[in-house]
Chains A and B, each alone.
Chain A
Amino acid sequence: MQTAFLCLLIAVPFLNEREISIVTGTLYAMSFGPIDLTDPLSGLQVIMLTLSATKPLIISMLIPIAFTFVFGRVYCSWLCPQNLFSEMGDILASRLHIRRMFSVSPTPRPRWAMLAVVLAGSMAVGFPLASLISAPGIISLQISTAVFDSTVGLESALIGIILAGEFFLLRRFWCNYVCSVGTTLSVFRCQKTLKVRFSEDDQRKCIHCGACSRACQFGLDPMREKIYPLCHNCGDCIAACEKSTAGRNPLKFTF
């Protein structure tokens, strides 16, 4: 799924270059035919900076927001190319038995702080700072720039810095503690949002093997902890549980 989406991100600029413009845009804003989608954080920044919001902008933000209310942050786990790169980096690191320099217990506080810094900073400088540090935005934009301008901007270096930091310093820190795009999305959550959990009956089926928390790249423990808003519904824990309990899966996605 993630690879398929990355292929889409690569294919779109090539198609646009040949004037096939059914799908156009980057992960800041994309159009599928007549349907426009805008990244909620980018839209929020514009609204805050211009103190106005056009109807098309609001509608284009509402679709990803509604989607997130239903499915949770699956944009992060299934669509975002940075997540794909980071996950692959993490798998490589565990194969090579790399020990990171730091480790922290998962907490959402740095994310909220980062979001506040980005929003406040944007107001101070007068332009959307989030656009400069949105990893999925940068990746999709650079693909587009490479196709159209035949150059790649220096901001691509940020991706390298993120991956290196996650490899050597702190596991999955960008997605887990920094990324403001994901933090904005994590606001749109309700009782009925898709989540990973045990139901009452299934609790008894849990054999406390710990496969789920070992599988979680963010270091979350579905057996014990409150895993939201950090969890982005990637489903690795559920897949691990299915394997470990030979199909009895007490851990499930539920609404």
Chain B
Amino acid sequence: MNKHFLRPPGSRDESHFQASCIRCNKCLVICPYRSIRTGTLFDGLTNMGTPIVEPRKTPCYLCMKCPPVCPSGALDTKLSDKKDVRMGTAVIEKKTCYAWQGTLCRSCYEICPLFDEAITMDHELRPVIHEKKCVGCGMCENVCPVDPSAIIVKPTGEK
């Protein structure tokens, strides 16, 4: 079971996260948007009890309430600046993205909290991701009008 899940902000490397998450649920409880769910047995034994973010359902809105409550440091407790979050990186599936296929669409570009930095529009009005700026919150994946989403967040640690 090697599927990587998107973790709450403050997480970086998945093996460090796995080693230090004590499955206590405090991040889930403090999240005001209910973006975090608890991993179940079906998500894999190693993921059981761990916090998982599913952007298509509810993305992370970068309120930054969860890193300080993590008792074990699985989420970097000192993290407070949204721009330093590295939950993952968005990737566009150009074959299904409306803009990349010729229609005009600005959904991901407009919702991105790092406006005009993590996602910019190129000269043909197609969204382009700047990996170094993208925090991986998933707001773009959440609003993409294509089903399944044409923009997906790849969690940090997934190759």
Contact = CB atoms under 8 A, between A and B. Distances in A.
A46 B73 contact: yes
Contacts of A24: 26, 29-30, 69
B29 A13 contact: yes
A153 B48 contact: yes
Kindly state the interface size class of chain A when it binds its partner. Answer: 35 or more
A31 B72 contact: no
A155 interface: yes
B145 interface: no
Contacts of B24: 25-26, 28-29, 38, 42, 137, 141
Nearest to A54: B73
B45 A132 contact: yes
Nearest to A56: B77
A63 B24 CA distance: 17
B101 interface: no
A21 B42 CA distance: 30
A49 interface: yes
A158 B24 CA distance: 17
A149 interface: yes
B71 A29 contact: yes
Interface stretch (A73-81, A120-128, A167-175): A120-128
Interface string A3-47: 000000000010010010100111011010000101100110110
Contacts of A127: 18-19, 21, 46
Q: Of residues B18, B24, B30, B37, which shows the largest number of chain A Cβ atoms within 10 Å of its Cβ?
A: B24
B30 A29 contact: no
Interface in A165-197: none
Interface in B1-35: 15-16, 18-26, 28-30, 32, 34
A189 B16 CA distance: 32
B71 A38 contact: yes
Contact of B29 (A25, A50, A52): A25
B72 A21 contact: no
A39 B65 CA distance: 22
Given A25-B24, A45-B22, A54-B73, A153 B15 contact: no
A215 interface: no
B38 to A, nearest CB: 5
B48 A132 contact: yes
A148 B34 contact: yes
Given A24-B69, A56-B77, A145 B22 contact: no
13 contacts: A24-B69, A28-B23, A31-B26, A38-B22, A46-B19, A46-B73, A126-B18, A127-B19, A127-B21, A132-B45, A141-B25, A144-B29, A153-B49
Given A54-B73, A144-B29, 15 more contacts: A13-B29, A24-B29, A25-B24, A28-B23, A38-B71, A45-B22, A50-B19, A50-B20, A56-B73, A57-B72, A131-B49, A141-B23, A148-B29, A148-B34, A153-B38
Interface of B: 15-16, 18-26, 28-30, 32, 34, 37-38, 40-42, 45-46, 48-49, 69, 71-74, 77
Complex A-B, nearest 9 residue pairs according to Cβ-Cβ distance, in ascending order:
A49-B19, A28-B24, A29-B71, A29-B24, A42-B22, A154-B41, A131-B23, A127-B18, A46-B72
